[in-house]
C-alpha cells in the first residue's frame, strides 16, 4: 500500500510517499481502507519532535511512529476475531492518536472502540475533519467550560478546526461570540455567525476594556494574568492547546487566580472519540458542518503540512487517498 512515511523529525520535507506492507488487524481491531484524513496539531508536533516531551515517548532522535495522522474516515475492509459491532463494508471515522496514528496511508488498523459509524449523508472528507478538533470543541465548551445561555464568549484562534466547530456549537447556546484570528479568516467567521471579530495583528484582546464570561483558547501564547484580565468576575478561561510553557504556567497559577481574583483557568485533557455520537446528531440535524480546506492528495501531504505551518488555513486541512 501507499503511505506517507516520516523517517526523521523535521520539516514537511522529511515526509515521503512510499510503498509499505498493509497492516493486519489484531483481535479487537479492524482494517480500514482510508478514504480521507486530516492534519492536526498532534501530527505537527510529531513531525517536528517538539515540544521535547514528544521525543521522550516517541524516540529521542529517530521517531517510533513512522506514519503520522490522527483522524481517519473510511470503510471497514476486515475485522479481528473479537470485533462485535463493526463488519466489512461499514463506513466509519475516528481519532487514532491513542492507538498508533497511521492515518496518512491507504489502509490503517484501528481499535473497534475508537471508531464511530459515519452518517450516510456525511462525506468521508467531512468525517475526517471531525474527530480531534470536534472533541476538543465539545469538551472545551461544554464539559469543561460549561457554556450557558446569555454568556459572552471569546474564541481565540477561531478560524481553525477547533474554533470553527466551537463557533457553531456556541451559537446553539444563545451566547454573544467574539472571535479572534487573522484578517483573512474574519469574513468567513462573520458569515458563520460571529457577533464581533478581532484582527489579532491589530489588537490584543487581553488589553481591551471588554471582558468575557468564557474564553476558549487554542493558542495559549500569553500569560495567565493577561487572560485573567480579559475575564469577568467568576469567569472561566479554557485552553485546548498551545505553547507548553504557557500551559504549565496556567496549571501552576490557576489556584492563585481562582483564590485572589475569582477567575478560573481550565485545561482540557482530550478524551478521543468520546463525543462522536453527539457530532453525528448535530450534523444530521443540520446544526453543524465542518469547514474544509483542500482536499489534498496523499502525495501532497507535505504541501498540506506546509500550509498548516503557516496558520493560514480555514477549518481543517483534508487529505484524500483516491
Domain that holds residue 215: 134-267
pTM of this structure: 0.95
314 and 238 in one domain? Answer: no
* Residue 68 within any structural domain of the chain: yes
* Residue 303 within any structural domain of the chain: yes
* Residue 256 within any structural domain of the chain: yes
The torsion angle over the Cα atoms of residues 158, 162, 165 and 169, rounded to 10 degrees, is -90
User: What is the rounded CA–CA span in Å between residue 243 and residue 156?
Assistant: 14
Could you read off the pLDDT of 65-81 as tens digits, one per residue? 999 999 999 999 999 99
Kindly state the average pLDDT of the residues 292-307: 98
Tell which wins on pLDDT, 51 or 139.
139
Number of domains in the chain: 2
Residue 121 pLDDT level (bands cut at 50, 70, 90):
very high
CA-nearest of 278, 304, 276, 306 to 292 is 304
115 and 71 in one domain? Answer: yes
* Residue 156 within any structural domain of the chain: yes
Average pLDDT, the chain: 95
Which runs of E-coded beta strand occur in 260-313? 264-267, 292-297
* Residue 126 within any structural domain of the chain: yes
184 and 95 in one domain? Answer: no
CATH number of the domain residue 120 falls in: 3.90.180.10
Q: What is residue 279's three-state secondary structure?
A: helix
Tell which wins on pLDDT, 248 or 93.
93
What is the pLDDT at residue 258?
A: 80
Least confident of 59-63, 241-245, 315-319: 241-245
The secondary element (H helix, E strand) that includes residue 80 is: none
176 and 163 in one domain? Answer: yes
* Residue 283 within any structural domain of the chain: no
* Residue 161 within any structural domain of the chain: yes
119 and 11 in one domain? Answer: yes
* Residue 273 within any structural domain of the chain: no
What is the pLDDT at residue 246?
A: 81
81 and 149 in one domain? Answer: no
302 and 261 in one domain? Answer: no
Could you read off the pLDDT of 241-264 as tens digits, one per residue? 887 778 888 888 788 778 777 899
138 and 84 in one domain? Answer: no
The residue assigned the cell 461499514 is: 90
144 and 107 in one domain? Answer: no
222 and 148 in one domain? Answer: yes
- Whether the CB-CB separation of 30 and 84 falls below 8 Å is answered with no
* Backbone dihedral region for residue 59 (phi beyond 0: left; psi -120 to 50: alpha; all else: beta): left
Kindly state the average pLDDT of the residues 193-219: 96
Amino acid at each position: 500500500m501507499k503511505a506517507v512515511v516520516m523517517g526523521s523529525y523535521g520539516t514537511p520535507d522529511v515526509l515521503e510517499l512510499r510503498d509499505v506492507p498493509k497492516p493486519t488487524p489484531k483481535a479487537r481491531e479492524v482494517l480500514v481502507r482510508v478514504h480521507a484524513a486530516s492534519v492536526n496539531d498532534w501530527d505537527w508536533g510529531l513531525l517536528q519532535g517538539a515540544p521535547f516531551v514528544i521525543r521522550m515517548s516517541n524516540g529521542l532522535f529517530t521517531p517510533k511512529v513512522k506514519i503520522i495522522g490522527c483522524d481517519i474516515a473510511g470503510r471497514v475492509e476486515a475485522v479481528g476475531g473479537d470485533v462485535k459491532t463493526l463488519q466489512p463494508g461499514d463506513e466509519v471515522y475516528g481519532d487514532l492518536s491513542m492507538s498508533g496514528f497511521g492515518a496518512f496511508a491507504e489502509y490503517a488498523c484501528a481499535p473497534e472502540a475508537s471508531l464511530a459509524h459515519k452518517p450516510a449523508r456525511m462525506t468521508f472528507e467531512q468525517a475526517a475533519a471531525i474527530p480531534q478538533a470536534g472533541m476538543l470543541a465539545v469538551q472545551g465548551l461544554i464539559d469543561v467550560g460549561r457554556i450557558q445561555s446569555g454568556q459572552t464568549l471569546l474564541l481565540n484562534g477561531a478560524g481553525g478546526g477547533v474554533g470553527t466547530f466551537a463557533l457553531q456549537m456556541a451559537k446553539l447556546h444563545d451566547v454573544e461570540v467574539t472571535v479572534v484570528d487573522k484578517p483573512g479568516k474574519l469574513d468567513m467567521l462573520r458569515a458563520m455567525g460571529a457577533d464581533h471579530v478581532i484582527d489579532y495583528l491589530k489588537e490584543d484582546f487581553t488589553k481591551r476594556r471588554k471582558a468575557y464570561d468564557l474564553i476558549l483558547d487554542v493558542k495559549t501564547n500569553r500569560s495567565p494574568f493577561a487572560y485573567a484580565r480579559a475575564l469577568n468576575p467568576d469567569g472561566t478561561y479554557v485552553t485546548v492547546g498551545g505553547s507548553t510553557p504557557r500551559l504549565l504556567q496556567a496549571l501552576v497559577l490557576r489556584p492563585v487566580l481562582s483564590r485572589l481574583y475569582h477567575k478560573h483557568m481550565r485545561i482540557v485533557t482530550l478524551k478521543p472519540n468520546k463525543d462522536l455520537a453527539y457530532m453525528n446528531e448535530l450534523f444530521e440535524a443540520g446544526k453543524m458542518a465542518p469547514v474544509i480546506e483542500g482536499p489534498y492528495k496523499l502525495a501532497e501531504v507535505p504541501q498540506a503540512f506546509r500550509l498548516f505551518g503557516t496558520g493560514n488555513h480555514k477549518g481543517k486541512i483534508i487529505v484524500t487517498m483516491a
